Amino acid sequence: MSTATSARPAMFDVTDLDGVVAQPIKPALEDTLDAGLAIAVTRDALTFIALPVRVVSAPAIIDEFRDQPLATWTSSELTIVGIGVARELRGSGAARWAEVIAGAHAISTNTPDVDDEPRDTLPTHLAGQSSSPVPRDLPCAVIDGRVGPIADLGFARPRFLGGAAFAPGAADRAPWVGFGDAWFALPRWTYVHDGARAFLVLGVDARDAAHAARWRDELAIFQAAVAGDFLSRHQPAMVELTRADTAQWRDQVTDITDAIAKGTCSKVVAARTASIVLAAPVRAAELLAALDARHADCVRVLIKPPGAGALIAATPERLVRRDGDFVQCDALAGSIARTGDVEAAAATLRASAKDRREHQLVVDAIRTALTDAGAQVLEPEPEAEPAVRALRHVIHLHTPFRAVLRTPRHVLELAARLHPTPAVGGTPTEIASDWIRSHEPVARGWYAAPVGWFDLDGNGELAVALRSGVVAGNRAHLWAGAGIVAGSDPDRELAETEVKLRAMLGALGINELPAEAPAR
């Protein structure tokens, strides 16, 4: 799989389209779609038809397509909304990452069967203004009826969206049915914007392209969705709450600190759950809109595989980002509730030996994983002091990483090497993972697991699904965790999980968990 961006000039580039589409003779989107479909039916691989549209929020789009598989990614730089499935990738067990990578490679190269005959290049009369036709058996891009390589789509290029379970087998029962060990989709429709420009991209093969009426109908639904702003309504009232037994939690923290004192492990991240029944079905778009408004400094993610509920998160933690040879990661561990004087709280956090020790475990693990992957770590320096990152409810110790790959690595390969970091699992990894699997009463599923996107060149970005929950119908299941190290106090760690639950509770319109809610 290619890992380098071509230096040749693009035949057409999305950065030049503003001038093109602003012309009075610009055809209607339906005409542009029809022209692309006419090309797609002549080809033997996926065709991606790009349509320039207006910039809108992700919730405005997904509410109209809530019955389809969905996947979204919203950061300060980029919004991606995937609707439906053009191609699906699944992986299972220990080989899940390798299986997804192999499946994506097969799509990017349109790997033929051994009995297939060699195919011609696209006939010149169908290639528009292209001076270098794309072989008919390779994926291509179409903008304004012109054919070019996928790279010419720039930031609107095809991306797989999805993620993976915290560990193999962690998402094989309710409420995670349908998620699996790893799931990524190349969406049927992808809406993408960078804050200034936006495109709607349809991915079809020749067989799909023949159903032009269907794609026109779905385009009309999209146009109606973006015609106005998304109108947020109140979330339904809470009817019932079930949360983890606090006495059991305290016992678990004590068990972990005892194991640490014996030298069995250095850290284990223990998670708690809260399950909520609401008076009416949860609208995923409402929940995502609330997270957008309340946690704009986090990455907001929604993942809804076929036949599954929706994982929704507002996470502050990047697992890994790869852009060519450059890699970025975040060490985010050690935290304190954000109350009152932020500067005073941050100073208290910096001075906490327990939190500094917890943070250093994550820094060391990320540095080792990147080095083992053949990367040169540029930042931080070995003795660098952590920064502080203040969020709406929590303040974290934060150390950003920058590295350069000496050996090409797919972003999912890097994710497999990094996950789970001690920020969400513990150390040693195997011992902490065994404890999580055997002691936590509710399987984590995709909580604290890698979620995000990658492209056909193996670039991409994955975040850690923190401050998250899965919603289905009128039920919401939320997770929060705390890192247990030497010196951890059960009551303080319990309070930390309560604070971390506020992100999703607030988005659901629930300001606090009732103090006297019965343990079940």
**Which residues lie below 8 Å from residue 422, measured CB to CB, with a gap of 6+?**
266, 267, 269, 333, 358, 361, 362, 365, 429, 432, 483
Q: How far apart are CA 187 and CA 424, in angstroms?
A: 29
Type of residue numbered 243: R
Residue 366: enclosing H or E segment and its boundaries? helix 353-372
Find, among 374, 315, 258, 276, the residue nearest to 72 by Cα.
Answer: 315
**What secondary structure, in 3-state letters, does 100-113 show?**
HHHHHHHHHHCCCC
Contacts of 277 (CB under 8 A, 6+ apart): 238, 239, 240, 241, 474, 475
**Among 177, 215, 198, CA closest to 86:** 215
Q: What gap in Å lies between CA 304 and CA 312, rounded to an integer? A: 9
Please report, as a single letter, which amino acid is at residue 514: P
Q: Could you count the other beta carbons within 10 Å of the beta carbon of residue 473?
A: 11
From the list 334, 293, 281, the residue with the least C-alpha distance to 506 is: 293
Rg (CA), the chain: 24
Q: In a 10 Å sphere around its CB, with 0-12 CB exposed, 13-18 middle and 19+ buried, how is residue 204 labelled? A: buried
- CA distances, 117 to each of 83, 105, 108 (Å): 33, 20, 19
Measured distance CA(292)–CA(307) in Å, rounded: 25
| Owner of token pair 């693009």 | 10
Rounded CA separation 80/56 (Å):
11
Distance of CA 464 to the CA centre of its chain: 8
Task: Collapse the DSSP code of 516 into the 3-class scheme (helix H, G, I; strand E, B; otherwise coil) and give the result.
Answer: coil
User: Could you tell me what percentage of the chain is helix, strand and coil, using 3-state DSSP and rounding each to the nearest 5?
Assistant: 30, 30, 40
Reduced to 3 states, what is the DSSP secondary structure of residue 208?
Answer: helix
Compute CA distances 1 → 104, 106, 121, 155, 328, whole Å. 9, 10, 21, 19, 21
From CA 389, how far away is CA 399, in angstroms rounded?
A: 9
Enzyme catalytic residues? 267, 317
Q: Give the position of tokens 């702003």.
A: 229
